[in-house]
Structure 1
Amino acid sequence: MHRITIVTDAWHPQVNGVVRSIENTILHLSDLGADVRLITPSGFRSIPCPTYPEIRLSVTTYGKVAAALERCRPSFVHIATEGPLGLLARRWCLKNGRPFTTCYHTRFPEYVAARFPVPEAWLYRFVRWFHNAGAACMVATQSLEDELAARGLKRLVRWSRGIDTDRFRPREKTPEPFGLKRPLFVSIGRVAPEKNLPAFLDLDLPGSKMVVGDGPARRQLEARYPDVLFTGVKHGEDLARLFAEADVFVFPSRTDTFGNTILEALASGVPVAAYPVTGPIDILADHRQAGALDEDLRQACLRALSCAPEAARRVAETYSWEAASRQFLDNILEANDVMPRNRTGLKRVVSRVIRKRSGTAGR
């Protein structure tokens, strides 16, 4: 069994795509012969992130992170985030001659530049420095890969995402959920400036609007839009039922690198309205009956009303966490296999994985 240590600054109690992607991948990696260990902020003292207190930043030392990594005895190291833990893990890998992989989950430069007077060009210089030291940087979509390659990132490989189509599924809709008139337009996710929610909430649309989630902008937006229902964070079956109640799922963000909630909506049989940007365009561009993309978000919302729930569901069924987890593992094995000192051991690992898949392929 090969040991993978994942270092991430994003973890519970945060509710976001990074956390969900990591935890869902971990659930399937054990079936592929992996023993996964996590290094997260839960193991260290932390402080609230400035302007975003829901995110905790670890306050620790190189020695403590190095000791945590050595206790894990990793065969492979994957660094998920560019935060304090990610930086210290990167330092440990380079100091010890250990290859590592990374992932570009979040538009870090844009988010920081929106909050502090730091030029994006400087921040992308940091991004190149951080990721280009690794053996591979995983990205979710082709459009993101093209964009990052143009910005000088190297060794980009694909890691898609999945969806639990058992939990997120079409359900019978209630006539007036929460007393709201239909059609019901819903946005689900972090209630934060980078999600561009006013672009949705300002629209003149028939029926009602609902926002599910929490974040630093919630109080301000609730006061500004008294006719919109803000439900706060929902989990599990409660969340799945809310997805299924929507007539249209509205995704107003222009800065997400994928958009896991898009898949959750599609799996629920709910068409999606979004801008034609990275994430939505990769998922929906070839599936016009499952949603609508338009620079005029109002037009996208209105067109999505006539899209087919069955088409939305069919798109979601092409994604699975099992396939995404295999892709993640393959990326790690291939990235590390380019390192001569690991070549022999990795060939044995790859052979075991192939044998395991062959033995289960017909089940």
Structure 2
Amino acid sequence: MAALLGRFGRKLVSPGSSHGARRVSTTVCESETVKSLNLYSAINQALRIALETDPRSYVFGEDVGFGGVFRCTTGLAERFGKNRVFNTPLCEQGIVGFGIGLAAMGNRAIVEIQFADYIYPAFDQIVNEAAKFRYRSGNQFNCGGLTIRAPYGAVGHGGHYHSQSPEAFFCHVPGIKVVIPRSPQEAKGLLLSCIRDPNPVVFFEPKWLYRQAVEEVPEHDYMIPLSEAEVIREGNDITLVGWGAQLTIMEQACLDAEKEGISCELIDLKTLLPWDKETVEASVKKTGRLLISHEAPVTGGFGAEISATILERCFLKLEAPVSRVCGLDTPFPLVFEPFYMPTKNKILDAIKSTVNY
């Protein structure tokens, strides 16, 4: 699986002002200084760069002062001081509310919610305050310096309260962005883009990949553009769309489908809000088929939004109904996790069913 994660190409951009990126595309070449990092180390490197390059940046959340439960903030408090990297009370509403105020004063507030499952107490602050701050003031004020990090998704043994994928809730909220990386190199570049973006961002990190995903990551400061999907595998028979850790599972299904003569095009959405409709549309118009896969329950999942949009845009080009391979409509289970998950075999069966429709 780690080998699959390392085989995708990346598009990087040079850092620009504190409010965006100078979009100069390049590729990782041998002359660049790179280091083999897992995903949590790449997150740590991005946070270090953010703190180094902007004295207005702050990192805070439950237990971040001594590294956090996943070690993403290891060493940052010692390096930058406890005034810039610090622990908070166990109160998600208060953590995000404090971040909104800090960002509204022109700072970069990088908030950690220990698990995405615990983000719900902060829902009101994110939806009714952060997302509407600029709009309600007629653009006189904003909290665009707010970035909310949260580990999300399955981990193999997390059960009900440490495995949820709540991205769809936030994709219904104009005024924020929602971003999910698939690998260490993507995580570093996307996180730096989120921190420097002039809008509040919810950045979900696939905890399954924190230690499992390892690849060569450039050590310099770079950014990956938001709202630009990436075709990471080209094909002609069917388009597959996903994000986060699910991309690795989907890649495995694509390889198995190839053995049976089915050519799959695989797209990493990266940014779910606002998402890159044009890239997906172009692919579906070529292949005539679409399969979407995510860990969250199928009903009301973001896959439904993608499906509806593509049906509107590509109806006459479709050769088969849009297929969704997602989590089940149950609370996230513990011992039954293997049955709940959208596995490689489920995706492969859906690929064959859609192609043979």
Q: Which has the higher strand share?
A: 2
The normalised TM-score by structure 1 is 0.30
**Which structure: larger Rg?**
1
Normalized per residue, the structure richer in helix is 1
